[in-house]
Amino acid sequence: MSRFNVSKILEADELLIKNALSGNKSALENLIKKHQSWIYNVALNLTADSNEAADLLQEVLIKVITNLSQFKGESKFQTWVYRIIKNHFLNAKRSKYHDQVISWEDYGNSLDQIKNVDLEDSFNVDKKLIVEEAKLSCMKGMLLCLTPQQRLVYVMGELFELPDTTASEILEINRDAFRKRLSRARKQLYGFMNGKCGLINKKNPCRCAKKTLGFIKKGYVDPNNLQFQKKVVAKIESVVEKKLVEYENEGHAAYRKLYQNHNYQEPDDLLLSLRKFLDSKAVRNTFDIQ
């Protein structure tokens, strides 16, 4: 699978923004097309739910559009958008992002209570895909045991490997504070995985294939609607720019690789649903679109 070239994705942002602010509707639409995929995948790992991620994506894009004139080019456009994601995710009036937090103890108990059984070949979907869905669902469920702040730090710093200089700028904290927050998030997440997950520690009895039927019965996995495997175009590891220097050499590579091997998905094209908004009088006046 060929690697995505992130620099090429970002190279024409300044021109698109300039043209969009000059009233070029196509430039504005192209800017949305360019960035909606990575925003969606960040949102998917923050919310662990495809519908919630789609909602977060739409809300962020609307804020990007309505505030585009405030982008001064003092940082990368992607960094500016990350700040919008951060503000919306952490400060949303709807408290569901904060209410999603699950305790590690409760999550561990829920896994223990699911019986280990073999998955039958009685579904219309390849069994391997269903087991993979169970694995992705379980691992994204673990992210919900982190607080929203920890989740954001982990997704930016570990999953998408933003440099600490960039991540600290987005979070408006110093680099040392960011690294400490990331270290705490990793310690909790990876500590839980080491004590529970068979993918990391072979001594652990938990196996994705054995838990899949239980996930289906509890409604965590729908064999007819595999939400983490729609429109897959790559793996997360193939779209990130690798950090030149590790934050800490603590042997976290195996854990990080498991998460970075998650699917990178294309969202439904929001231009279709945003067209009415783009044609609104307020937007047309903002961008002087005739």
Q: What pLDDT shows up at residue 281?
A: 72
Residue ranges of domains in the chain, CATH in brackets: 6-286 (1.20.140.160)
Residue 281, classified by CB atoms within 10 Å of its CB into exposed (0-12), middle (13-18) or buried (19+), is: exposed
pLDDT band at 112 (very low <50, low <70, confident <90, very high): very high
The counts of H helices and E strands in the chain are: 15, 2
Residue 290 has pLDDT above 70, yes or no: no
pLDDT of residue 3: 46
Question: Does the pLDDT of residue 230 top 80, yes or no?
Answer: yes
The confidence band for 244, taking pLDDT boundaries of 50, 70 and 90, is low
pLDDT class of 123 with cuts at 50, 70, 90:
confident
Average pLDDT score over residue span 182-202: 96
- The total number of residues written for the chain in this structure: 290
**Residue 200 predicted with pLDDT over 80:** yes
User: What is the per-residue pLDDT for 7?
Assistant: 47
Residue 4 CB neighbour total at 10 angstroms: 17
Q: Which of these, 83, 32, 97, lies nearest to 62 by C-alpha position?
A: 32
What is the model's pLDDT at position 279? 73
Rounded Cα–Cα distance for residues 256 and 186 (Å): 9
Q: Which residue has the tokens 């990130």?
A: 240
Spell 195-209 as b/e; 16+ CB within 10 A means b. ebbbbbeeeeebebb
